[in-house]
Amino acid sequence: MGRVNMIVFTTNDTWTKPPDLAAIEVIVRGAGGGGATGTANNTTTARFGGAGGGGGGCVRTQRRIDAASLPDTIPVEIGPGGWGGLSAPLGGGWSPGGNGADTLFGDVLRGKGGTGAPDPFTAGTGGLSVIRGGDGGAQGANGGDSTHGVISLLSGGGGGGAGRGYRQNGTVIPSDTDHGYGGDVSTLDFQGGSIGGSGTSYVTASNLWVIVGSGTGGGGGAYNASGAGGTAGNGGFPAGGGGGGGGGSTVGGKGGIGGHGSVIVFEYFND
């Protein structure tokens, strides 16, 4: 078998079988879930950071699919990332993160999306595909890594980190600094917390083995003792979970958006 061609789909499209095709291999990633908002309360009440969304799952063909068994065209449906929770008003309320959608390569493969964080205390879960996405972080925890025993670079997306918060006993709940970077704590009056770092994206890199990697989770938003909680970082593309928003004393920080899904097709030719 001679020539090999790689096609990366990042939006809805149609794969068309080329002439002289011998076989294909396919990698499909679901979208990452969004992070929840942090909570906002007065300075005598706990203000929790939001939980992170789960990373999208990954599936791949275990062997090459013979071209003769494939139709002339296959629809490609890319799952969008889950929305990040909107800023929460004073009083302890919150807004959940949305679920990441599944990504489909026709009826051949489906990559499951990660779930959004439903509240500040419950992390989103990774997409339950063959290669599962990482779970999000809750209550100051790091988002979960996603690995696979054969080739770790083919793992699902990492989970988003939780935002910083504040407990009534005076301790600051740390945000994640592993999957993206949590924003710094604000100490000045009325100064907003900084934005959590977005997860690393791998799809635009030139190295093939990096291209087939998944994005990392977004960092948690900063805690702010005298203002709005920091906005969380978005999940890296593809499949990273969004970070959780930071807690604040006026407004809870926004959750991060999950990374969209992707489809990669390797085409093998006889020439």
Cβ distance 261 to 105 under 8 Å?
no
> How far is Cα 21 from Cα 11, in angstroms, rounded to an integer?
23
The string of pLDDT tens digits covering residues 122-155 is: 878 777 665 556 666 665 555 555 544 433 345 5
Scan for tokens 């997860």, then name that residue: 199
Cβ distance 16 to 228 under 8 Å?
no
- pLDDT at position 187, please? 33
- Percent of the chain scored above 90 by pLDDT? 28
> How far is Cα 211 from Cα 219, in angstroms, rounded to an integer?
22
> How far is Cα 7 from Cα 136, in angstroms, rounded to an integer?
30
Burial class (CB in 10 A: 0-12, 13-18, 19+), 52: buried
* Helix residue ranges, H only, 128-215: 208-211
SS3 246: coil
Confidence of residue 44 (pLDDT cuts 50, 70, 90): confident
- Domain locations in the chain as residue ranges: 1-167+194-270
Comparing 103 with 191, which gets the higher pLDDT? 103
- pLDDT at position 34, please? 92
Cβ distance 199 to 233 under 8 Å?
yes
Confidence of residue 9 (pLDDT cuts 50, 70, 90): very high
- pLDDT at position 137, please? 61
* Helix residue ranges, H only, the chain: 208-211
* Mean per-residue pLDDT over the chain, rounded: 76
- pLDDT at position 76, please? 98
- The pLDDT of residue 269 is above 90: yes
Alpha carbons within 13 A on the beta-carbon side of 163 = 50
According to DSSP, the residues that pair with 5 across neighbouring strands are 267
> How far is Cα 207 from Cα 205, in angstroms, rounded to an integer?
6
Comparing 145 with 229, which gets the higher pLDDT? 229
b/e code 97-108 from CB counts within 10 Å (16+ = b): bbbbbbbbbbeb
Highest mean pLDDT pick, 99-113, 135-149, 246-260: 99-113
